[in-house]
Amino acid sequence: AAGVIQSPRHLIKEKRETATLKCYPIPRHDTVYWYQQGPGQDPQFLISFYEKMQSDKGSIPDRFSAQQFSDYHSELNMSSLELGDSALYFCASSYGGQGDEQYFGPGTRLTVT
Amino acid sequence: GESVGLHLPTLSVQEGDNSIINCAYSNSASDYFIWYKQESGKGPQFIIDIRSNMDKRQGQRVTVLLNKTVKHLSLQIAATQPGDSAVYFCAENISGNTGKLIFGQGTTLQVKP
């Protein structure tokens, strides 16, 4: 069965640079969630989209923005990167906007140097 | 088998024994719960979910128990195998909300051969 696809899998950036992470949800899933996971931490919710509209926002810095496109894929844009942004970024998808059976992608490991 | 009454960050069990991983959730309004398994460097893998109108649900080798009175969730793994070694997270959600998941502290399960 098709799973959530994330790209790139690994990304190395320098401080103050920008990064764009992409997420392709499971086919027919209309809802995308972004989470950030620091080393040894549990995933923390950043932002979500349902039917191409932002549905919720968590502890996401103002330097970050995201959107969901007409094909339901989503992109997380990160600017003015800081060392503390180094983490695993996961995208999850589900159907119906309420988070039932939320499936996660393999993640993007972002390293800021 | 190993039984843990409180949440412990690490649980070590012998191969073939049963494992019980505990989780306390925070929001009494949460009515949907998911257990995830996360292997090193990978995304959380959906194991089993349960709604608040149930107190028990069984899957293949796994059982989830929900005690709403004390806001407690547990995951039981029967005949634990080396491949079960991972970090296990519980996550809570309020159905009818936007679906963002709030993760509990992970438990590292170590299976000794």
CA torsion sign, A49 to A19 to B41 to A35? negative
Distance separating alpha carbons of residues B34 and B29, to the nearest angstrom: 15
- Residue A74 touches partner B, C-beta closer than 8 Å: no
Residue B16: pLDDT band with limits 50, 70, 90? very high
Residue A30 C-alpha, separation from nearest chain B C-alpha, in angstroms: 12
The whole-number pLDDT of residue A98 equals 75
- Residue A4 touches partner B, C-beta closer than 8 Å: yes
The whole-number pLDDT of residue B3 equals 35
Residue A65 C-alpha, separation from nearest chain B C-alpha, in angstroms: 17
Residue B12: pLDDT band with limits 50, 70, 90? very high
- Residue corresponding to tokens 């195998």: B81
Residue B96 or A64, more confident: A64
Distance separating alpha carbons of residues A69 and A32, to the nearest angstrom: 11
B24-51: burial string, b at 16+ Cβ within 10 Å, e else: ebeeeebbbbbbbbbeeeebbebbbbbe
- Residue B44 touches partner A, C-beta closer than 8 Å: yes
| Residues A23-60 pLDDT 10s | 999 999 999 999 999 988 999 999 999 999 999 999 89
Please, what is the end-to-end C-alpha distance for chain B in angstroms? 14
Contact (CB<8Å) A42/B101: no
- Residue A58 touches partner B, C-beta closer than 8 Å: yes
Q: What is the mean pLDDT of residues B45-69?
A: 95
DSSP notation for A35-88: EEE-TT---EEEEEEETTEEEEE-S--TTEEEEE-TTS-EEEEE-S--GGG-EE
Residue B2: pLDDT band with limits 50, 70, 90? very low
Q: Which of B32, B42, B100 sits opposite A100 (nearest CB)?
A: B32
- Residue B3 touches partner A, C-beta closer than 8 Å: no
Q: CA-based diameter of chain A, in Å?
A: 39
| Residues A62-81 pLDDT 10s | 999 999 999 999 999 999 99
Cis peptide before A43 (omega within 30 of 0): no
For the cut 70, the answer to whether the pLDDT of residue B7 exceeds it is no
Residue B76 C-alpha, separation from nearest chain A C-alpha, in angstroms: 19
The whole-number pLDDT of residue A24 equals 98
Edge to edge, the sheet with strand B62-67 lists B19-24, B72-77, B62-67, B56-58
